[in-house]
Structure 1
Amino acid sequence: MPQLRVASVNVNGIRAAVRNGMSTWLDASGVDVVTVQEVRGQDEHLEAAFPGWSIVHDEATAKGRAGVAVVSREPALASRTALGPDDFDSKGRWIEADFTLGGTPLTIVSAYVHSGEADTPKQDEKWRFLDAMSERMAELGSAGALALVTGDLNVGHRELDIKNWRGNRTKAGFLPRERAYFDRFLGAAGAEVTGVDGTTGPGLGWVDIGRRHHGDVEGPYTWWSMRGKAFDNDSGWRIDYHLATPALAERAGGYTVARAETYAERWSDHAPVIVDYSY
C-alpha cells in the first residue's frame, strides 16, 4: 500500500543540525515530508540543508529565533501562515501546507508553540497562541477532512509524557491549564470536555498518533535536556506530536521516535517523530 512518510523535528537551529549530522539521518530516513521547527535561519540555510527539496518557510519576527517550515519531495499546492487575530504575532510558529493523499486534500501543519514561563508575559503569549491554535484546529478538523498538526507543541499532555512530572506541575509545559487545551483537542468532537484544570469546553476530536500507537506507557520521549544525564537516563518529555483528524488517523502506521543511539550522535535536543500515512 502506498504511504506518505512524514517526519516532524525541532532542529534547534538548522545550521547547527546540519553540522552535527542531520543529513546522515535524512538520507536514511525515507521521508517524503519533513516539518521543521526552530529553523533559526533564512531560506538559503534550509535550501542548503535540503538540496533539491521543495520548501515553504515562515521566519520569526525576531531574527535568529523560532521559524517553522514544511519541506517536501513534491511541492505543496498552497501554504498559509495566518493564525489568530491581526494584532497577534504568530510569525515563525505556524505554517500550513496543502498536498493530496491518494487524490484527497491533505493539510500538514508545522507548529512551534511558545515554551512559556509561568506567571510572566511569556506565558500570556503562550495562552494566546493556544487559543488561536484551538480555533484553527476546529476549522481544519471538519468532518472527514485529512489534516495533520505536527511539531514541538511544548506541552506534556499527561503524566506519562514527562519522566519527572511531579517536579514540573507548576512549571510551563506541564501546567494544568496547558494540559486542558490538549484534553479538548483530543476529546470527542462536540462533547463537553472537562480538562485536568476543571475547566470545560467542546472536544475537537483530534487523535494523538503517538499515544494511540503506544498506549498507556511512559513516553516514548522526544526531548531531553542537554544538561546532566537526562538523555542517557531517558529522563525526557514527550512534547513533539502528530495530531491527526480521525479520517487521517485511520491511515496512520509505523510511528517511530528516531532517538539517537548515543548522546554523541544527537544532532538536536529533540528526536524526529515519524509516521507513515497510507493512501
Structure 2
Amino acid sequence: MPHLRIASVNVNGIRAAARNGMSTWLDSADVDILTLQEVRGQDEHLEAALPGWSIIHDESSAKGRAGVAIASRTPALAARTAFGADDFDSAGRWIEGDFLLGDRPLTVVSAYVHSGEADTPKQEEKWKFLEAFGSRLGALGQDDALALVTGDLNVGHRELDIKNWRGNRKKAGFLPRERAYFDRFLGEAGAEVTGVDGSVGTGLGWVDVGRRFHGEVDGPYTWWSMRGQAFDNDSGWRIDYHLATPALAERVQAYSVARAATYAERWSDHAPVIVDYSF
C-alpha cells in the first residue's frame, strides 16, 4: 500500500548532527518528510545539511537555542508559526506545514517543548507552552482532519515511558501536572478526563502513535542521558512523539525508533522516530 514516511528527531544542533553522521542515516531511511527540533542554527546551516530538500524553519529568538524545521521532498503547500498568546515567545518551538496525503490535506507539526525545571521560571514557560499546545490541538483536530504533531515534547506521559520513573517523579519531564496535560490530549474526545494529578478537563481524542503501535511495553525509548551508561543499558525516556488525529492514526502502517547500534554511532542524543502513513 502506498505510504508517506514521516520521521522526527531532535538533532541536538544541525551542524553537529551533520558532522556526526546524520546524512548517512538519512540516505538509507527513505523519508518523505523529516521534522527536526533543536536546530540551533540558521537557514544556511539547514540547507548545507539537507541539500535538495525543501525546508521551512522557525529560528529561536535566542541565538543558538531551540529552533524547529520541516524538510520535505516536495514543498509544503503552506507554513505557519503562530502559536499561543502574542506576549508568549514561542519562536523556534512550533512550526506547521501543510502537505497532501494522497488527495487529502495533512498538517504536520514540528514541536519542541521546553525542558523545564521544577519550581523555577523555566517551568512557568513550560506550563504556558502546554496550555497553548492543548488549545492548538483542539483546533487542529476538528472535522475529522488529518493532522500530526511530532517532536521532542519533553514529557514522559506514563511510567512505561521512563526506565527510572520512580526516581523522576519530582523532576521536570515526569511531573504529575505535566503528565495530566497528556492525559487530556490523549483522552476520549469530549469526555471528562481526570489527570494523574487529580485535575479534571476535557479529552481531546488525539492518539499516541507509538503507544498504540507497541502496546503496554516499556519504551521504546527515544532519548538517553549522556551520564553513566544510560544508552548502553537502555535506561532512557520516551519523550519524542507522533501524536495523530484519529483519522490519521487509522492510517499507520509501521512505527519504529532508529536507535543506533552503539553509543559511538549516535549522531544525536535522541533517536529518530519513523512512521509510515498510508494514502
TM range (shorter): over 0.9
- Determine the structure 1 residue equivalent to 2:222: 222
Equivalences, count: 279
Amino acid at match of 2:173: G
In structure 2, how many angstroms separate the alpha carbons of the residues matched to 1:65 and 1:116? 14
Equivalent positions of 1:15-164 (< 5 A) are 15-164=15-164
- Determine the structure 1 residue equivalent to 2:179: 179
In structure 2, how many angstroms separate the alpha carbons of the residues matched to 1:184 and 1:269? 28
In structure 2, how many angstroms separate the alpha carbons of the residues matched to 1:245 and 1:49? 31
- Determine the structure 1 residue equivalent to 2:251: 251
The CA deviation at 1:3 is 0.5
In structure 2, how many angstroms separate the alpha carbons of the residues matched to 1:71 and 1:2? 20
In structure 1, how many angstroms separate the alpha carbons of the residues matched to 2:67 and 2:199? 32
In structure 2, how many angstroms separate the alpha carbons of the residues matched to 1:156 and 1:253? 24
- Determine the structure 2 residue equivalent to 1:234: 234
- Determine the structure 2 residue equivalent to 1:206: 206
In structure 2, how many angstroms separate the alpha carbons of the residues matched to 1:213 and 1:253? 9
The CA deviation at 1:28 is 0.4
In structure 1, how many angstroms separate the alpha carbons of the residues matched to 2:38 and 2:156? 18
The CA deviation at 1:130 is 0.2
Could you list the runs of 5+ residues in structure 1 that have no partner in the other structure? none
Deviations 1:151-205 (A, max 9, x none): 0000000000000000000000000000000000000000000000000100000
SS of residue matched to 1:127: helix
The CA deviation at 1:262 is 0.2
In structure 1, how many angstroms separate the alpha carbons of the residues matched to 2:201 and 2:100? 32
The CA deviation at 1:8 is 0.3
In structure 1, how many angstroms separate the alpha carbons of the residues matched to 2:121 and 2:144? 38
In structure 2, how many angstroms separate the alpha carbons of the residues matched to 1:49 and 1:83? 27
Deviations 1:95-125 (A, max 9, x none): 0000011111100000000000000000000
SS of residue matched to 1:182: helix
- Determine the structure 1 residue equivalent to 2:168: 168
The CA deviation at 1:228 is 1.0
Could you list the runs of 5+ residues in structure 2 that have no partner in the other structure? none
- Determine the structure 2 residue equivalent to 1:190: 190
In structure 2, how many angstroms separate the alpha carbons of the residues matched to 1:143 and 1:197? 30
Amino acid at match of 1:139: A
In structure 2, how many angstroms separate the alpha carbons of the residues matched to 1:89 and 1:179? 23
Amino acid at match of 1:144: D
SS of residue matched to 2:170: coil
Amino acid at match of 1:4: L
In structure 1, how many angstroms separate the alpha carbons of the residues matched to 2:227 and 2:19? 20
Deviations 1:198-245 (A, max 9, x none): 001000000000000000000000000112100000000000000000
In structure 1, how many angstroms separate the alpha carbons of the residues matched to 2:57 and 2:253? 27
Deviations 1:25-47 (A, max 9, x none): 00000000000000000000000
TM-score computed with the length of structure 1 as normaliser:
1.00
Q: How large is the RMSD of aligned CA atoms in angstroms? A: 0.4
The CA deviation at 1:143 is 2.8
In structure 2, how many angstroms separate the alpha carbons of the residues matched to 1:54 and 1:194? 42
**Following superposition, which runs of at least 4 residues in structure 1 exceed 4 angstroms of deviation?**
none
Q: How much identity, in percent, do the aligned residues show?
A: 81
